[in-house]
Structure 1
Amino acid sequence: MSILDGIRQWARRVKRDAVTLWFACRHPATAWLPKVMAALVVAYALSPIDLIPDFIPVLGYVDDVLLLPVLIWLTIRMLPQHVLEDCRSKADRWLRDGNAKPRSGWGAALVVAIWIGVTALLWAVLRTR
């Protein structure tokens, strides 16, 4: 297997696990902490707006390549095995059937809120100087 094939497989797993978390948010057997974590990760993963815009050289892809996969991995590890298996099978069916990628308006709102908070914090710090 080539490096490129390995990267493609990894990207497919990340995509599948993001959809898995989307189903885990709605699963009745998911405990509250993994449910909240999954909701936040899914909101960010499916948001049309990135925390670090992709047009910023190198840093723009840090959230896509490092931050998001780590958050997905951590959240997946918090799920009970039976919930994970059920949600993964649903995600596999969802992706196999070619359904549209879910979108998250809440994720976009979360990213915008973070940017507003960072901007306000920077403005307050710079104003006091």
Structure 2
Amino acid sequence: MTGKSLSERIGDLGLRLAIEAHTAWLAARDPRVPWLARLLAIAVAAYALSPIDLIPDFIPLFGWLDDLIIVPLGLWAVRRLIHAPLWAELHGAAEAASERPSSRVGMAVILLLWAGLLYLIYWGVRTSPWH
């Protein structure tokens, strides 16, 4: 077989959607983008990057259906509202950002900070006089 496996193609699609969502986020923050496109870009990027969905992902098939329909349609609408050269510039910036190495140590530090904060809240509730 010379082609990519299904899991590799799904991974590529996920990466492309993530880059497009990042492009929408960059468009929402760019003053050269029309205000209607900025509002839609904020909504689409927030929905695409949010862990909360209209239909939870644990529901078989329907959980992913909203991600496979709403996000691409929203990205398509944002792309139609922005001039092609500007979209290409923002897309290039999003692709460059996706190629930068991510820091696993930084991620671990942030996760440890959140875990520590949650433990302090738990400890505060457990030891409070109202408990």
**Structure 2-normalised TM-score?**
0.67
Equivalent position of 1:96 in the other structure: 99
The whole-number CA distance in structure 1 between the counterparts of 2:81 and 2:69 is 19
Change (3 A) 1:28 1:71: same
Provide the secondary structure at the position in 1 that maps to 2:55: coil
**8 Å contact kept, 1:18–1:45:** yes
Provide the secondary structure at the position in 1 that maps to 2:50: coil
Q: Aligned-pair distance for 1:6?
A: 4.1
Runs of 4+ in 1 over 6 A off after TM superposition: none
Equivalent position of 1:28 in the other structure: 31
Equivalent position of 1:18 in the other structure: 21
Change (3 A) 1:7 1:57: closer
Equivalent position of 1:80 in the other structure: 83
Alignment of 1:1-129 (within 5 A): 1-2=3-4, 4=6, 5-99=8-102
Between the two structures, name the one with larger relative contact order (CA 8 Å, sep ≥ 6): 1
The whole-number CA distance in structure 2 between the counterparts of 1:69 and 1:79 is 16
The whole-number CA distance in structure 1 between the counterparts of 2:88 and 2:9 is 23
Letter in 2 for 1:45: A
Higher gyration radius (CA): 2
Letter in 2 for 1:27: D
Letter in 2 for 1:73: W
**8 Å contact kept, 1:27–1:83:** no
Gaps of 5+ in 2: 104-131
**Structure 1-normalised TM-score?**
0.68
Q: Aligned-pair distance for 1:59?
A: 1.1
The whole-number CA distance in structure 2 between the counterparts of 1:9 and 1:76 is 20
The whole-number CA distance in structure 1 between the counterparts of 2:76 and 2:84 is 14
The whole-number CA distance in structure 2 between the counterparts of 1:8 and 1:49 is 21
CA-atom RMSD in angstroms: 1.9
